[in-house]
Structure 1
Amino acid sequence: MNVGIIGIGRIAGKYLNPVYKNPKYNLFALCDLKDSAEETSRIYNALFYTNYKEMLQHEEMDFVIITTPPNTHFEIAKNCLLRKKNVILEKPAVLNMEELNVLFELSQKNNVSFDVIFHWMHGNEVLYLKDKIGTFGDIKRIESTVLDPYTDEHLHIKDEYIGLEGSWFDSGINCLSLLSCFMDIRKLHLVEKTYIYDEKVHQDIYSKHQYVMDDIDISITVDWRYRANHKYTNIYFAKDVLYIDHSRQIILLNNELLVDLNNGDRLENHYKNYFERYTYNLNNNDTILTLHDILLGDK
């Protein structure tokens, strides 16, 4: 299958090897506004474009991966779907539900697939736990925390991260997608939310959302204020506590190592696992819609 990638920036670097090394795919064409990205295309023996519309017009691709900033997703995805290309979008897909519904309609009208990669769902540690979490009993509480070093010493968002649209949009959806692996997130009820903003760019650098679902307390915290890069989740049961260290791809049970699944770059593993399972006949529209509905509704 011929694959095109639009947007050869920071996150796209995590896609390249998983696609290139998978024998199912041919990393066929890359597109980026910056001419400097052409060097990457040479490394992977792929065609290079600076205009994605020209790439769509001239090249035959089975699907296109879009890894540009979220505020550009809708227009690019729309044009790809109109060209009858199967589309994979990096999360979050779009910044409002109207645009998301349009993309689904175009996908159906043109008989092509449309998917969004919620990459946390495909982490080694998450896939391992997804099949085993029921063995620990009923969940009582979940605390998911994301720390990223995206601000400078003045607590202003660094230029290269402004396109992420703030802490909640960038990582809240990762935590929500994780929850969706273990529970029906349509039942989430928002109790309280707290934000701290970088007023210079009017984006949040800290967000905390507290939910309840039946008798389960859930919190999601995303913090960009410190020079830390750590992602972890605590899941509390009646007797046991699971500590999921997403950064190190390990799980502790009651402070004892349960499993070590670290076999390489964390993000590359996410995309490797996703593309190994990718199929055009995806039936996850409900998941995509639900995750974005919560993400956008609870902003």
Structure 2
Amino acid sequence: MIIIWLTYPRKAGINIEVISVKKRIGIIGLGHVSEKYYYGLSHNTDFILVSVCDINLSASNLFIYRDFPFYTDYLEMIQHENLDFVLIATPPKTHYEIASNCLNHLCNVLLEKPGSMNIIEIIHLMDIAKRSGIRFEIIYHWCYANEIQYFYQNRNLFGDIQSIKIHINDPYLNNKGVIDPQFYSLEGCWIDSSINVFSMLHQVIPLEQIELIQQKYQFDQSSGLPFSCYMVFKHELILIVIDIRWTQKKNFKLTEIKTNTGLYRINHSLQRITHNDVLLYQGNQFDRLSTHYLNYFNQVLKSNTIDLRTNLLIHELAFNYNRVRKVKYDGNK
């Protein structure tokens, strides 16, 4: 959509100023995370949401997008709505097929993490995009959190890092203490959260130099997927602890960074940073994930995104240390 403002100055003549050209985008997949896109796609500077798609006629967030054209065939949506971009938010095991089809139809792709469950497939998707001259981006939404962007912009003020502890809690177990089947498609706690963690860390720690020194998992007997994991990595003298739990029945995210100047607590849930218990930064009070995606949609076309090598390294770390137990499990359940 081209927005043109006509201004009439006091002197004779008309100035025509092109303010913006918004990219037409459609959503593929209306599962639980898709509700967090709505605000960002309604208020950003670069995209206009045109249509949505899901194979499920009663998708959980269809009501949020009830005013947009709805499709069950994403290729039909791309062609009929003349889309510039699609945002793919389907289960990870479907990412490769859907993304490759969209790229082969010359539609730019924003793809939820993980890009696929297979490194070779991610490389292939990037190769298709490169050969076709179109855009393929994996969405690392944690990097677009207000508090993380503040941290990146003021990294030099934080001092020399001595240790990092990352605590992640999500309420994905049911009352029986097993993973709620609606969250099977997340592929377990490690795959769901480790990519967020490594995408956040890549600007402060050389990921290719970290070494695993301890790992512990707890597994769900029905799906074989992990619902709790405790991982310890080391880079030179820096210890990195990643503690992910779905057992607390709450959504809470906290990163503690100890440096030579003291302890920094980055409370992702409250978008807040403290230094030695003194408030250093407070982000907005708006929903944190909606804020991530608003920042992402406003920035992704304007800034340098994560390069190929780092994309692959983030996924390799996630895949290499992922553990599941073998059970009869259909990931499409």
Is the shorter-chain TM-score for this pair beyond 0.5, marking a shared fold?
Answer: yes
1:249 aligns with 2:271: yes
Residue 57 of structure 1 and its aligned partner are, at CA, apart by: 3.4
Q: Provide Cα deviations, 1:55-114, integer angstroms capped at 9, x if missing partner.
A: 133231111100111111111001001101110111111111111111111111221111
| Shift >6 Å, 4+ stretches | none
Contact 1:113 1:282 in 2 (8 A): no
2:25 corresponds in structure 1 to: 3
**Count of paired positions:** 297
Deviation at 1:41, TM superposition (A): 3.3
Partner of 2:175: 153
SS in 1 for 2:197: helix
**Which residue of the partner structure matches residue 317 of structure 2?**
294
Deviation per residue, 1:277-298 (Å, 9 max, x gap): 1128756222211110111112
Query: Which range is displaced more, 246-255 or 106-115?
Result: 106-115
Structure 1 counterpart of 2:245: 223
Paired residue type of 1:297: N
Asked if 1:41 corresponds to 2:65, the answer is yes
The unaligned stretches of length 5 or more in structure 2 are 1-22, 323-333
TM-score (norm 1): 0.95
Q: TM-score, normalised by structure 2?
A: 0.85
Identity within the alignment, % = 35
Let me know the Cα RMSD of the aligned residues.
1.5
1:271 is matched with which residue? 293
Match of 1:29 among 32, 36, 51: 51
The residue that corresponds to 1:204 in the other structure is: 226
Shift of 1:26: 1.5
Matched, 1:130 2:167: no
Deviation at residue 6 of structure 1 after TM alignment = 0.2
Q: Is the partner of 2:102 in helix, strand or coil?
A: helix
The separation in 1 between residues aligned to 2:242 and 2:162, in whole angstroms, is: 15
Q: 1:99 aligns with which of 121, 126, 130?
A: 121
SS in 2 for 1:12: helix
- Any idea what SS the aligned residue of 2:93 has? helix
Residue of 78, 86, 94 corresponding to 1:56: 78
| Distance across 1 between alignment mates of 2:56 and 2:262 | 50
| SS across alignment from 2:232 | strand
Preserved CA contact (<8 Å) 1:14 1:268:
yes
Question: Does the 8 Å CA contact 2:46/2:297 hold for their aligned counterparts?
Answer: no
Is 1:71 the counterpart of 2:93? The answer is yes
In structure 2, how many angstroms separate the alpha carbons of the residues matched to 1:262 and 1:39?
27
Gaps of 5+ in 1: none
1:163 maps to 185
Identify the residue that residue 188 of structure 1 maps to in structure 2.
210
